[in-house]
Amino acid sequence: MTRNSALANSLLDRAAANKVCKAFGIRLVTNPQVVQLAHNGGFDALFIDLEHSSLSLDDAGHHCAAALHIGITPFVRVPYQCGNGFVQRVLDGGAMGVVFPHIHTAEDAIAAVSISKYPQPNGPVTNGTRSMTGQLPLFGLRPTPVATIVSETNARGSSVILMMETASSIANVDAIAAVPGVDVLLIGSNDLSIELGVPGAFRSAAFQDALRRVSAACRAHGRIFGLAGIYGDAELHRWTLGELGARFILGQQDSGFLAAGAKACVAELDAALSS
């Protein structure tokens, strides 16, 4: 990335080209070499999970730094109601966007945008409250003019990804999607199905109707529709990516890859022994 170029954000770039941004989830592995494995596998982004894991801010920062170095876009999911100061540290540590869980209302969305963006009175989002510091990972730790940091980071280096995983988020989805500065409405499949009274029933009418509502709100307001929590179901993926137009998807998490790989390895060895 040259200093005259916009920050490279695979989510925004691929969605603009009507392509899917595929994210690799990290919730278990602390060694940043896992980022290289994700890149080698063809993933476009990272979904570093600080909500459902014991990963630290330092771990997230190492993963973000590795991702920025090799050109895979790092996003970090923060814990629910973690506070503005925690979000600030995640962004300063190199995240190019924050995943906010359990969004209920438009007010929640406004608050998420506010802490993610710098104040920019003449910019597209005017309610930013993020605090400024120097030597940011997004700019290679180089001294960078404040105006450049504000304009480039607000536009492409601080994506706001809101998780739709409650009954209230579905009820308020149109108002949430209308909030300026929101980039993605991301389905949290497990929590949403539980909230709707159909735990794990991703083919149920209630769950799929909720997805249709979120997709429609995204199309109406120019947001990116995303899916997380459904793995290894090609039929549902075809429906979500095709008919519903999802352009951001969490492909799987490191723990899931390890579990599936371990099971497949043992099955192959058992088959070899029995043949």
Positions marked catalytic:
52
In three-state secondary structure terms, 96 is coil
Dihedral, 263, 267, 268, 269 alpha carbons, nearest 10: 100
CB under 8 Å, gap of 24 or more: what pairs does 238-247 form? 240/211, 241/20, 244/211, 244/212, 244/215, 245/215, 245/218, 245/219, 246/20, 246/215, 247/14, 247/15, 247/18, 247/19, 247/20, 247/21
Report the phi/psi class of residue 31: left, alpha or beta, with left for phi > 0 and alpha for psi in -120 to 50. Answer: beta
DSSP strand pairing (73-77 vs 159-164): unpaired
Length of the chain in residues, anyone? 275
Q: Which of 219, 108, 224, 223 is nearest to 168 (CA)?
A: 108
Q: Which of 216, 185, 219, 190 is nearest to 99 (CA)?
A: 185
Q: Which of 22, 53, 175, 202 is nearest to 106 (CA)?
A: 175
CB 176 within 8 A of CB 217: yes
